[in-house]
Amino acid sequence: MGVPGTDAESSPLLPGDGGASAAAPRKAPDDAFHFAYIIFFTVGLGFLLPWNAFITAVDYFTYLYPEASVDRVFAVVYMLVALASLLVVIFCSRKSDAAVRINLGLALFIAALLVVPVMDLTYIKGQVGLYAGFYVTVAAVALCGLADALVQGGVIGSAGEMPERYMQAVVAGTAASGVLISLLRVITKAAYTQDADGLRSSANIYFAVGIVIMVVCLVFYNVAHRLPVVKYYKELKMQAVNEEKEEKGSLIESACSSTLWDTVGRIKWYGFGIVLIYIVTLAIFPGYITEDVHSELLKDWYAIILITGYNVFDLVGKSLTAFYLLENAKIVIWGCVGRLLFFPLFYGCLHGPEFLRTEIPVTILTCLLGLTNGYLTSVLMILAPKIVQLQHAETAGIVIVLFLVLGLAIGSIVAWFWVI
């Protein structure tokens, strides 16, 4: 069954009410020109763009810091900071405003991206081996991890309160950010001479364009609240919250913590699937892709081509749910378990038969890694908020992001050991 389109917005049922129906007070406004969908897609693109920007510029950072395990360090720092920050957000979310968190996070993303070109122009100036610059860059990556926790939880939570197409938009946007950044890196790298000066110039242009895109995301997010369709679903949520307060009365505050754990209990298997997906993915991508496999023919283009292939197929997978959504959670979760097979397959590309240790098998496996990552993630992210009541959909969205970041953090640590 496909993900509902605009007709889902006019449904007389409350979305995400866990199967219970309730009459909507009025018909949902049309999403004029699909503008709300475009905004959710763009913001989804935005909150993963900085991460993709740092890992896809691996050629630039590896040139400057040849002794550093660049992408593996970036992954561990980003994911652990994001995980710790997200835990704080979850337990403090009822005391803070999601819009404030998201705006602050987007601003921090812009500041972190500024670090690279500013530092290059004022301090590094193309010199190799200035590792103080590497530590500053790692600090910028950590700042992105903090910003990710502030933005991603809020955006996914907001999308969880709305019809499925908006969650699909956010998830597809996250994949599109990888494709956009990969293409941007290919274009900027190809536009300049293939030497140290060209590498430096292309990297600065690359990060400058990323900053412009993040500014657009910041503007778009603040426009979203004014759209009638977004206001409509916010009002539905408030109506559901008020009804729950009336039912529970003074017990509502004491029930907040139990509601959180009840939500975790309801979506735990979806979370388990998400954790498995990202343990496998982050154990292989980007560290293995950029540091363990090499090509005499493609040289430093090899990593960029593999990253681009992964990102393109990740986008394909996340877009497929717009046409077909597999609603059998058991099949989806077993599919997540099945992805563990990528470990022996990629291991074979390092230590297996000669035919496996060539560019074509590695590229095919990388594309399959992206395709399965994209589709299974999208399905679980769409389904999880819909099995709880509307007033708890935002909490479910944030909790599923916690599972996602937990998988990312574990995977980024496993990446250091599994190929040894």
State the CATH number of the domain containing residue 268. Answer: 1.20.1250.20
pLDDT tens column, 367-390: 999 999 999 999 999 898 888 877
For the chain, first and last CA: distance in Å? Answer: 43
Phi/psi of residue 30, nearest 5 degrees: -70, 145
Residue 243 maps to a domain: no
Residues 110 and 106: their CA atoms lie apart, in Å, by 6
Residues 28 and 36: their CA atoms lie apart, in Å, by 13
Q: What is the predicted pLDDT for the residue at 398?
A: 82
Residue 239 maps to a domain: no
* Residue 34 DSSP one-character state: G
The tokens of 237 are what?
Answer: 């949520």
Q: What is the predicted pLDDT for the residue at 333?
A: 96
Residues 149 and 83: their CA atoms lie apart, in Å, by 7
Residue 249 maps to a domain: no
Task: Name every residue whose Cβ is closer than 8 Å to that of residue 392 and which is 6 or more positions away in sequence.
Answer: 259, 263
Residues 366 and 307: their CA atoms lie apart, in Å, by 8
Residues 144 and 84: their CA atoms lie apart, in Å, by 13
- Residues 235, 261, 283: CA angle, nearest 5 degrees: 100
- Neighbour-count burial of 92, counting CB atoms closer than 10 A to its CB (0-12 exposed, 13-18 middle, 19+ buried): exposed
The tokens of 398 are what?
Answer: 């944030």
Residues 25 and 400: their CA atoms lie apart, in Å, by 29
Q: Which residue has the tokens 């197929």?
A: 313
Prediction pTM value: 0.80
The tokens of 182 are what?
Answer: 């990969």
Is the torsion defined by CA of 162, 144, 264, 154 positive or negative?
Answer: negative
CB 78 within 8 A of CB 145: yes
Q: What is the predicted pLDDT for the residue at 288?
A: 86
Low-confidence ranges of the chain (pLDDT < 50): 1-24, 250-255
Per cent of the chain over pLDDT 90 is 47
Q: What is the predicted pLDDT for the residue at 12?
A: 36
Residue 246 maps to a domain: no
Q: What is the predicted pLDDT for the residue at 395?
A: 80
Instruction: Count up the domains in the chain and report the number.
Output: 1
Domain that holds residue 128: 33-232+254-414
Residue 27 maps to a domain: no
Task: Give the residue among 206, 98, 195 at the shortest CA–CA distance from 156.
Answer: 98
Residue 171 maps to a domain: yes
Q: What is the predicted pLDDT for the residue at 379?
A: 95
- Neighbour-count burial of 83, counting CB atoms closer than 10 A to its CB (0-12 exposed, 13-18 middle, 19+ buried): buried
Residue 351 maps to a domain: yes
Helix (H) or strand (E) holding 325: none
Residues 373 and 310: their CA atoms lie apart, in Å, by 9
* Helix, strand, coil tally for the chain in percent (to 5): 80, 0, 20
Q: Which residue has the tokens 């996340």?
A: 318
The tokens of 70 are what?
Answer: 């660049």
* Residue 68 DSSP one-character state: S
Q: What is the predicted pLDDT for the residue at 24?
A: 44
Residue 318 maps to a domain: yes
Q: What is the predicted pLDDT for the residue at 325?
A: 92
Q: What is the predicted pLDDT for the residue at 59?
A: 86
